[in-house]
Chain A
């Protein structure tokens, strides 16, 4: 095995002898100087990003609601009821007040649920680490309220609560904020495929319904 390691490295070095290096021009839009949740971001900028995020999510046929903090419990309860979800997973660290009004049974991932257990659930509630307006993406990093990766994958319904302050403008902003050591899942709409005649069709193996609550 190490023989091939040495061989490959030797081949690489032989191939590169005398080849000049290049500069990397980064003239593209990088991360914004001021993250939106800092006081220097103007409310109108934040409003614009929320609107764009909402629009982009809808493009993927995700269900979106923009609600005030105080209205979250009622909205969560309604969404679960409309979905007919009776048993939903709630990861550790998910704000306790948010699902408080729901009629559904809240299932903790402690001890860890088996894959079959997850498959038997009606849905999952999570928060997120960061959201990208430009691409309509939410990113989960297994932090508080997000759980391990399987939790937001196996159940067919995913309700994600995003705080307005977590929404960033573009992909570079998100990359700058994320910690690569954590397992990361970037989610842009419900599960989909373009494999049949290159048309996007929603719904294959991941959650077929993605509902996003944007908390202002």
Chain B
């Protein structure tokens, strides 16, 4: 339980933003453990390679992908530039359509609002559609303190919830689990949460999906309150949009009598027409499908339902204030950057210590949460700056540039500062560099095979190159550029 994150707290810009997980050890230490977990490595390698290939093939068949991407980028940029206006327009449209709009400055306030709304219905159980916003604010744990049990209904979220685990991916939170592990979790844990798994459950994905269907069926039919997020909220019409695959989203959005949607303020889109762009960009980037099986769109109170929209800040306005970093708010949570990232592929999501892992997490988490913890300071360095994330991003977030910008603003350890200062001093004058090169050349035979201190990180796995007896510049001088 994260009780310390809630309670009587003044709302202020200085409050620590909660992101669904405690910030603990720095990324390199988490990663060192992860890369040695052969099961994790196998699962991630298989899954990310599958999805990469699928994304590449469905993106390649769209001739105007670059134009869609450019439009997606610009629509989001324009929205963020006029966010106050569009939020007010959204509020007005949702209210006019019979919905209720609430504003939450941080996680604690959002949780209080949702708990209050659930309690007002007299219910103690809610069903949930997979949502990053509610993950981010730790809603399930918060509701439990109010005596309300939240049931995750997305298959992967169910795997995580039953396994008492943490999500490791934005779209597929149980990507770190393979079918055999999922079978174990279902067989062992389903009974504690409701209908047990079938006795003869196998690890065939179809059988696992069937087990989830049976386990949740009755719960869908009887639960009166549902909680969701939203992929998009259209200011012009007040329409909310949820993309999903399994039908658990439709169940939650349709059957209960009360629906509460917790939505980050950056999810707003100006106009209905803008969906023509994002309904093409998101499914292809995310699950590598031409279209996801189900997309629900509703405007205000629909088919007799009571509808509440909770607009969430939780650090987003702080990100908005940053000239370079604000582009992270364009993110539509497709996960393409995770799937293509060579670092994520080898560490998985848990190493990032946030519900937002991978490249987008490495720029979003330190901005939302600040860089006061060692973990958060280490996240901007959790990248080789290979640029694959930027290439696949459907809204063209220049993740490498934001990483570099965050690195420039994070405090550095002193040995590194000393080393960088020394290197800078040498490189500021070509004469100094030449002298250092000559010293190196003279001592070349004394260079150790294994380096001491932090530099051992290189020689633990790699040989050093031989130091040449003569630098290029000395060769140039001696031979007049090879003419002598």
Contacts and interface: CB of A to CB of B under 8 A. Distances in A.
* Binding between chains A and B: yes
Interface of A: 1-5, 7-9, 11-16, 19-31, 56, 59-60, 115-116, 119, 132, 134-137, 142, 148-150, 153-154, 170-172, 175-176, 180-181, 183-207
A1 B80 CA distance: 23
A205 B251 contact: yes
B320 A15 contact: yes
Contact of A153 (B80, B250, B323): B250
Contacts of A15: 317-318, 320-321, 326
A153 B253 CA distance: 11
B292 interface: yes
Interface stretch (B187-195, B296-304, B405-413): B296-304
A119 B234 CA distance: 33
A154 B216 CA distance: 12
B227 interface: no
Contacts of A204: 155, 209, 212-213, 245-248
A203 B303 contact: no
B476 interface: no
B34 interface: no
B293 A206 contact: yes
B173 to A, nearest CB: 8
B246 A27 contact: no
Contacts, number: 253
A195 B174 contact: yes
Contacts of B67: 25-28
A80 B79 CA distance: 48
Interface string B144-175: 00000000011110010000000000001011
Given A205-B213, A205-B248, A29 B293 contact: no
B320 A180 contact: no
A89 B331 CA distance: 41
B416 interface: no
B131 interface: no
Interface in B82-114: 82-84, 87-88, 97, 102-105, 109, 113
Q: Is the interface of A mostly helix, strand, loop or mixed?
A: loop
Interface in B236-251: 237, 239, 245-248, 250-251
Given A186-B291, A199-B205, A28 B311 contact: no
B294 interface: yes
Contacts of B172: 194-195, 198
11 contacts: A7-B11, A8-B317, A11-B318, A25-B67, A26-B67, A188-B292, A193-B246, A194-B245, A195-B174, A197-B46, A198-B48
A25 B71 contact: yes
A137 B291 contact: yes
Contact of A13 (B84, B103, B210): B84
Contacts of B68: 28
A115 B255 contact: yes
B395 to A, nearest CB: 12
Interface residues of B, number: 97
Nearest to A186: B295
A4 B390 CA distance: 34
Given A135-B291, A195-B174, A22 B246 contact: no
B21 interface: no
B404 to A, nearest CB: 21
A196 B317 contact: no
Contact of A119 (B82, B210, B221, B250): B221
A175 B273 contact: yes
B197 to A, nearest CB: 14
Nearest to A201: B205
Contacts of A9: 84, 87-88
A28 B71 contact: yes
Contact of B290 (A25, A29, A136, A176): A136
Interface string B210-230: 101100110011100000000
B87 A180 contact: no
B39 interface: no
Contacts of A201: 205-206, 209
A25 B74 contact: yes
A12 B68 CA distance: 27
Pairs A-B, 5 closest by C-beta atoms: A206-B247, A11-B317, A205-B247, A15-B321, A204-B246
A186 B290 CA distance: 13
B30 interface: no
A160 to B, nearest CB: 14
Interface string B119-135: 00000000000000000
B234 A180 contact: yes
A137 B295 CA distance: 10
A136 B291 contact: yes
B254 A4 contact: no
B250 A28 contact: no
A27 B70 CA distance: 9
A122 B70 CA distance: 46
Contact of B247 (A4, A136, A184, A191): A191
B56 to A, nearest CB: 14
B109 A4 contact: yes
A199 B239 contact: no
Nearest to A148: B303
Contact of B208 (A181, A191, A196, A206): A196
Given A19-B81, A198-B175, 18 more contacts: A8-B265, A9-B87, A11-B13, A11-B318, A13-B84, A24-B74, A28-B67, A180-B239, A183-B298, A185-B296, A191-B293, A192-B246, A193-B245, A195-B174, A198-B48, A198-B287, A203-B209, A207-B247
A4 B273 CA distance: 30
